[in-house]
Amino acid sequence: MRTFFLLDIDCFFASVEMALHPELRGKPVCIGGLRTDRGIVSCPNYEARRYGVRTAMPLRSAARILPSDAVFLRGSHRLYGEYSEKVMAILRDFTPDLEQVSVDEAYMDVTGCLHFWGHDPSRMAEAMKERIVRECGLSVSIGVAANRVCAKIAAGVKKPDGLVIVRPGTEREFLAPLPVETIPGVGSKTLPHLHTYGIRTVGDAMAYAERNARPDDRRPPLRPERLRTFSLCRFIASCAVPSDEAIIPHDHVEKSISRDMTFGADTADRERIGATLYYLAERCCKTLREDELTASTVTVRVRFVDFTTVQKQASLPLSSSNEEDIFAAARRLLAQLCVPGQLIRLVGVKVSNLSAVEGSQMDLGVTAAEKFSALHRRLDGLQSRYGYGSIRWGITCGVTERREEGNDTSV
Ligand code: TTP
Ligand code: MG
Ligand code: MG
C-alpha cells in the first residue's frame, strides 16, 4: 500500500499578490487584467469567488458583480514561476518522489518517508503547510490517499487551507456522495451522457458498474452506448480501490461494432458488393461517431453460396471513425477474400480495437481527416432528422437491400 499526497496552492496567482501586498488581504482580488480590459480572470481570490467570480469569467463581467473596492491586476507570470519553484523546492526537502503536474500542484509518493513522521501523514502534511506559509506566505491544500485520484479529489474538497486524509479502505465512503464530475476525466462531454442514465454521483456510477458487470454469464453483451457508460462507470468505481494500479482506464474499451448484409439473391456484381461494403462501413462509422469512438482494426467477412464463411482483418495506420478509411481497408480485404465472379451470399464489416475520442478535435477541420469527420457529422445529423435516403453518398445508391444481420458488440 502506498501513500500519495496531492498539494495544490490556494488561488495561486492571487495568493502571491496578497503575500507581497498584505493590504490586499480581505478584499476581492482578480488576476488577469484591469476591470475594463478585454480578457478573462485567470485567478479570483476566495473573497471574489464569494461574489460568484470564477476562473475564465470575462473581466468586465467580474467587475460588474464585484464591489468597488475589488482589485484587478494584470499579474506577472515570471513572479508566479519563481514562487512555484520556491514551493516545489520546499516539497523536495520532504520527499524526492515528486511529480509536478501544474504550476501550483504536485503529487508526492511519501510511502518511503512517512516513518520520519511516526507514520502519521497528518504530521507530515501540517509540517509542509507550515513551512510554505512561513517561507512563501502562501496557503495550500493537501489531499492524502492510497491512490492519486483520491488524493487529488481530497485536496479539492476543503479548500482553502484544507487537509483531507482518505484512510485506506474508506475510499468508497469518501467518493460515493460526491458529484460524478469530481472524478478527473469526467468532463463536459461525458457528464450529459452520464446524466441521461441517471448517474449523478460517484455512488450512482459505482452501482451502475456493479449492475452491468458481465462476468462470463449468459446475458447478452451490452450495446455500444451502454458499453460506453459501463466502461466509464467501471473506471469511476475503480478509483475507490486503494491502489493506483487498480484504476481501469476507460478509453481502451474492448469491443467491436459490426454490420452484415445478406443479399436478396446471391450476387457476383462487383459494383453492388462494393456499394454494400461502403454502406456497411458507413453504418459502423455512424455508431463509432455516435459513441465518440475510433477504430484501428477492420475485419471483412464474406459468406459464399455454400455457406462457407471467410474473414480477414487489417490494422489502420491511424485509428479512425471515417468511412473513407474503413472502406479503403475493407475493399482491400474483400479483394483478398474472393475472386471476381464468385457468388456471394453475405458480406460484413467489423471495426474493433476501439478507443474513446475526448475533446472536440473533430470540429477543427484542420487536416483532411478532420474535414471529413466534420462533414460526416453534418450528414449524420441530416440523416437522423430526415432519413438515410434524404442525402447519401453516390456509391451507396445501388444499395437497395437493407436486411442487416447482426449488430454484435462484445465486451
Ligand atoms: P488552479 O490550481 O486550478 O486554481 P487556483 O490555484 O487559482 O485556485 P484553487 O484554490 O482552486 O486551487 O490553478 C493555478 C493557477 O493557474 C491559477 O492561480 C491561475 C492559473 N490558471 C490559469 O491561468 N488559467 C486557468 O484556466 C486555470 C484553471 C488556472
Ligand atoms: Mg491552485
Ligand atoms: Mg492547481
Q: Is 40 in the pocket of ligand 1 (CB under 6 A)?
A: no
Residue range(s) occupied by CATH 3.40.1170.60 in the chain: 13-76
Cβ neighbours for 63, distance < 8 A, ≥ 6 positions apart: 35, 36, 70, 72
Give the DSSP H or E segment for 106. Answer: strand 105-109
Q: What is the pLDDT of residue 251?
A: 53
Q: Is 9 in the pocket of ligand 1 (CB under 6 A)?
A: yes
| CA distances in angstroms from 328 to 127, 353, 369, listed in the order given | 62, 17, 14
Residue range(s) occupied by CATH 3.30.1490.100 in the chain: 256-405
Quote the CA–CA distance of 266 and 260 in Å, as a whole number.
Answer: 14
Architecture of domain 13-76 in this structure: 3-Layer(aba) Sandwich (3.40)
Architecture of domain 256-405 in this structure: 2-Layer Sandwich (3.30)
Helix (H), strand (E) counts: the chain: 13, 13
Give me 1's grid cell: 500500500
pTM equals 0.65
Cβ neighbours for 79, distance < 8 A, ≥ 6 positions apart: 16
Query: Is the separation of the CB atoms in 406 and 348 below 8 Å?
Result: yes
Active-site residue (options: 17, 47, 105, 171): 105
Mean pLDDT within 399-410: 43
Q: What is the pLDDT of residue 186?
A: 85
Of 11, 53, 76, the one to substitute when testing ligand 1's pocket (max ligand atoms within 8 A of C-beta) is 11
- Evaluate if residue 361 carries a pLDDT over 50: no
Residue range(s) occupied by CATH 3.30.70.270 in the chain: 4-10+78-171
pLDDT in tens, 155-200: 999 999 999 999 999 999 999 999 999 998 787 778 888 999 999 9
- Evaluate if residue 411 carries a pLDDT over 60: no
Q: Is 17 in the pocket of ligand 1 (CB under 6 A)?
A: no
Quote the CA–CA distance of 229 and 190 in Å, as a whole number.
Answer: 9
105 tagged catalytic: yes
Q: From the alpha carbon of 159, which atom of ligand 1 is closest?
A: 10
Q: What is the pLDDT of residue 72?
A: 97
Q: Which-ligand-closest: CA of 55?
A: 1
| pLDDT band, residue 12 (cuts 50/70/90) | very high
Q: Which-ligand-closest: CA of 83?
A: 1
pLDDT in tens, 245-277: 777 766 544 468 889 998 888 999 999 999 999
| CA distances in angstroms from 411 to 82, 273, 285, listed in the order given | 49, 30, 19
The CATH topology of domain 4-10+78-171 is Alpha-Beta Plaits (3.30.70)
Q: Is 15 in the pocket of ligand 1 (CB under 6 A)?
A: no
Residue 151: φ, ψ to 5°:
-60, -45
| pLDDT band, residue 68 (cuts 50/70/90) | very high
